[in-house]
């Protein structure tokens, strides 16, 4: 009985370090949770993030106090909603916005390379969400919705107009400098889910075109105290990322840039500072009984702007000065801890921030929300119904391709920590391999696996070759003492990974000090973060083999939370 309750407890994520009394941890969603958007209905707050080529798409989080978050579902969890076949890892779903109006929730988003912009709706944010309604008239990305609920400026229109705002091309499709973009707006018929009227150019270039600002994007409009505020990201998604704000007396402008823009950035700080948070921007605002807050993306590099865990969701207070919002007003650096937004918050049990331990014994009827497929599954190649835990069939598809391999990913959420699993698998050919990946994209991953060589079981460590060939380089191989169960572990330590196995009781080091920068965004490119993935492939051949994963364990151990920064 004690073992049962202990296992049940470990199924949930819980904080180990960083419990500052009366304060929450940043990031509030650790790991690959970029492009946050937030909305409020009553006493409930809902947040959504980009997922690119991972399925299900667009995770939905809920909170009552902005610090205790729980994932309640995905907005796009059905194959008929989202087909990601052929999408590169950093393509797919870009930058959603979630809004609520008159009893209905709306998400607008962009499916890059195939559908363009779309809108989905739900009466309950936990789902089900509708199939996409495609908005072919919109040529751009980073869409947002704004409901002007008391707009009576046009007597011929119904009270409560809506607007669709987005990043788009320069006028005449003629860029005056590299990164020249615009923010545009169209009226939106939210009852019939279609754009109407003429396209309006509301921002051309950015805050100060004499300085040739780049990549004005991520727009959100708010009406506050009778004025319209346009919040945008500027500077690109890298180190120079920032958040800027404009203001107007009318929704269509003209919008004046705040003279003290940007209202959030970390680009001017010493890059050699301890435990840096960088790349901050792409923000969304929400009002609470205790004041305004902003959610935004940021990164935590371990060295020279190398980071593997992707862009994460942070939160900071907002202060209004002379009618303008300022994010993180009391500090230059984004902080790892801030006071609770709600003084009534007594219990803080973060599931996605600070250092925590997560364990899945695969004893539920459905996969936990932490798991993600790489693209949309075309067949049921896994099962939770068997006694051995999670069963994965070996598919001929590989993680180097652009279809759906037998891959279940869990985000790397810390600079330091580990992921481990128990594997029961017997290969019948050298092509059959099963184990665990640490995966950034199709060309940048390490694969710790069990296979056979000369008809004998072996443990192998491969490194992908970054040339689009799909080939791998064998870094290390070791004969196993038996063909039975095996434990695997990948340990992250900032700029290195170490790989372990155990076919007895103790962990054996297969290879230490493996270059983690190979999987960093700076080297690998793209917009995602690393995934620890349970993975099995027969590498182009048809196989009847199956791999069984009895449990999976993840633990974060970042110094910043242990040391209480």
Task: Write the secondary structure of 81-122 as one string of H (helix), E (strand) and C (coil).
Answer: CCCCCCCCCCCCEEEEEEEEECCEEEEEEEECCCCEEEEEEE
Strands, E assignment, 50-92: 54-55, 57-63, 70-76
Amino acid 308: pLDDT = 98
Among residues 35, 243, 491, 558, which one is catalytic? Answer: 35
DSSP states of 376-393: --SS--EES-STTSEEEE
Q: How much is the mean pLDDT over the chain?
A: 92
Distance CA 180, CA 216 (A): 8
In this prediction, residues 8-18 reach a mean pLDDT of 42
Distance CA 13, CA 515 (A): 28
Quick check: 94 and 52 in contact, CB under 8 A?
yes
pLDDT band at 12 (very low <50, low <70, confident <90, very high): very low
pLDDT band at 19 (very low <50, low <70, confident <90, very high): low
Amino acid 160: pLDDT = 61
pLDDT band at 151 (very low <50, low <70, confident <90, very high): low
Distance CA 25, CA 210 (A): 39
Torsion sign, CA atoms 162, 166, 172, 177: positive
In this prediction, residues 501-524 reach a mean pLDDT of 95
**Tokens representing 316?**
């900071």
Amino acid 10: pLDDT = 40
Provide the percentage of residues in the chain whose pLDDT is more than 90: 87
Quick check: 389 and 548 in contact, CB under 8 A?
yes
Among the residue ranges 5-19, 232-246, 473-487, the one predicted with the least confidence is 5-19
In this prediction, residues 419-434 reach a mean pLDDT of 96
Amino acid 349: pLDDT = 86
In this prediction, residues 13-30 reach a mean pLDDT of 74
Does 63 have pLDDT greater than 60?
Answer: yes
Q: Which fold has domain 357-562?
A: Jelly Rolls (2.60.120)
In this prediction, residues 133-152 reach a mean pLDDT of 88
Does 155 have pLDDT greater than 80?
Answer: no
Domain 34-276 CATH (choose: 1.10.1740.10, 2.115.10.20, 3.40.50.2300, 3.40.50.1970): 2.115.10.20
Amino acid 505: pLDDT = 79
Whether this prediction's pTM lies above 0.75 is answered by: yes
Distance CA 294, CA 317 (A): 6
Distance CA 470, CA 442 (A): 8
Distance CA 56, CA 372 (A): 7
Does 13 have pLDDT greater than 60?
Answer: no
Does 1 have pLDDT greater than 70?
Answer: no
Residue 35 falls in the annotated catalytic set: yes
In this prediction, residues 211-240 reach a mean pLDDT of 95
448-470 residue pLDDT tens: 999 999 999 999 999 999 998 99
Helices within 248-343 (DSSP H only)? none
Quick check: 464 and 539 in contact, CB under 8 A?
no
Does 217 have pLDDT greater than 90?
Answer: yes
Residue 455 burial by CB count (10 A; 0-12/13-18/19+): exposed, middle or buried? Answer: exposed
Which residues in the chain are classed under CATH 2.115.10.20? Answer: 34-276
In this prediction, residues 104-112 reach a mean pLDDT of 97
In this prediction, residues 113-139 reach a mean pLDDT of 96
Which residues in the chain are classed under CATH 2.60.120.200? Answer: 357-562
pLDDT band at 279 (very low <50, low <70, confident <90, very high): very high
Amino acid 2: pLDDT = 39
79-97 residue pLDDT tens: 999 999 999 999 999 999 9
Distance CA 115, CA 111 (A): 5
Among residues 77, 142, 217, 312, which one is catalytic? Answer: 217
More confident position, 192 or 562: 192
DSSP letter assigned to residue 1: -
Among the residue ranges 152-156, 228-232, 256-260, 559-563, the one predicted with the least confidence is 152-156
Amino acid 150: pLDDT = 66
375-422 residue pLDDT tens: 999 999 999 976 779 999 999 999 999 999 999 999 999 999 999 999
């Amino acid at each position: 009985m004690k073992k049962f309750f202990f296992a049940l407890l470990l199924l949930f994520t819980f904080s180990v370090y960083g419990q500052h009394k009366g304060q929450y941890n940043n990031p509030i969603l650790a790991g690959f949770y970029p492009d946050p958007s937030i909305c409020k209905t009553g006493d409930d707050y809902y947040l959504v993030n980009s997922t690119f080529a991972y399925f299900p798409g667009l995770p939905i989080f809920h909170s009552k106090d902005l610090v205790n978050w729980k994932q309640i579902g995905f907005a796009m969890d059905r194959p008929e909603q989202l087909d990601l076949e052929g999408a590169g890892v950093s393509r797919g779903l870009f930058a959603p916005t979630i809004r609520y109006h008159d009893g209905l929730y709306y998400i607008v988003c962009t499916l890059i390379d195939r559908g363009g912009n779309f809108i989905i709706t739900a009466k309950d944010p936990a789902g089900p969400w509708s199939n996409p309604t495609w908005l072919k008239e919109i040529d751009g990305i980073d869409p947002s919705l704004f409901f002007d609920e008391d707009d009576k400026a046009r007597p011929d229109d119904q009270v409560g107009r809506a607007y669709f705002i987005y990043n788009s091309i320069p006028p005449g499709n003629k860029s005056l400098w590299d990164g020249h973009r615009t923010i545009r707006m169209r009226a939106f018929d939210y009852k019939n889910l279609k754009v109407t009227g003429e396209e309006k150019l509301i921002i051309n270039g950015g805050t100060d075109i004499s300085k040739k600002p780049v990549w004005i994007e991520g727009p959100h409009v708010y009406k506050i105290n009778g004025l319209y505020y346009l919040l945008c990201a500027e500077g690109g998604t890298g180190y120079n990322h920032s958040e800027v704000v404009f203001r107007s007396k009318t929704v269509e402008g003209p919008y004046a840039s705040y003279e003290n823009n940007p209202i959030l950035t970390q680009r001017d700080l010493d890059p050699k500072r301890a435990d840096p948070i960088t790349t901050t921007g792409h923000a969304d605002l929400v009002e609470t009984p205790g004041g305004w807050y902003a959610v935004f993306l940021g990164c935590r590099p371990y060295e020279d702007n190398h980071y593997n865990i992707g862009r994460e969701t942070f939160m900071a207070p907002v202060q209004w000065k002379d009618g303008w919002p300022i994010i993180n007003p009391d500090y230059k650096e984004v902080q790892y801890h801030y006071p609770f937004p709600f003084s009534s918050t007594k219990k803080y049990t973060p599931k996605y921030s600070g250092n925590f331990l997560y364990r899945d014994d695969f004893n539920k009827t459905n996969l936990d929300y932490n798991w993600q497929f790489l693209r949309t599954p075309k067949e049921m190649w896994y099962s939770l119904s068997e006694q051995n835990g999670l069963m994965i069939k070996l598919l001929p598809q590989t993680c180097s391709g652009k279809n759906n391999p037998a891959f279940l990913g869990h985000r790397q959420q810390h600079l330091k920590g580990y992921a481990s699993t128990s594997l029961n698998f017997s290969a019948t050919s050298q092509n059959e391999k099963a184990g665990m990946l640490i995966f950034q994209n199709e060309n940048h991953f390490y694969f710790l696996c069990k296979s056979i060589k000369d008809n004998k079981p072996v443990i192998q460590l491969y490194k992908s070759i970054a040339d689009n060939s799909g080939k791998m380089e064998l870094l290390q191989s070791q004969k196993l003492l038996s063909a039975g169960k095996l434990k695997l572990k990948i340990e992250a330590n900032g700029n290195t990974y170490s790989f372990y196995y155990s076919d007895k009781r103790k962990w054996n080091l297969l290879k230490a000090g493996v270059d983690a920068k190979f999987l960093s965004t700076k080297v690998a490119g793209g917009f995602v973060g690393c995934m620890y993935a349970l993975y099995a492939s027969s590498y182009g051949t048809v196989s009847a083999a199956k791999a069984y994963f009895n449990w999976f364990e993840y633990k974060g151990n970042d110094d910043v939370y242990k040391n209480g920064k």
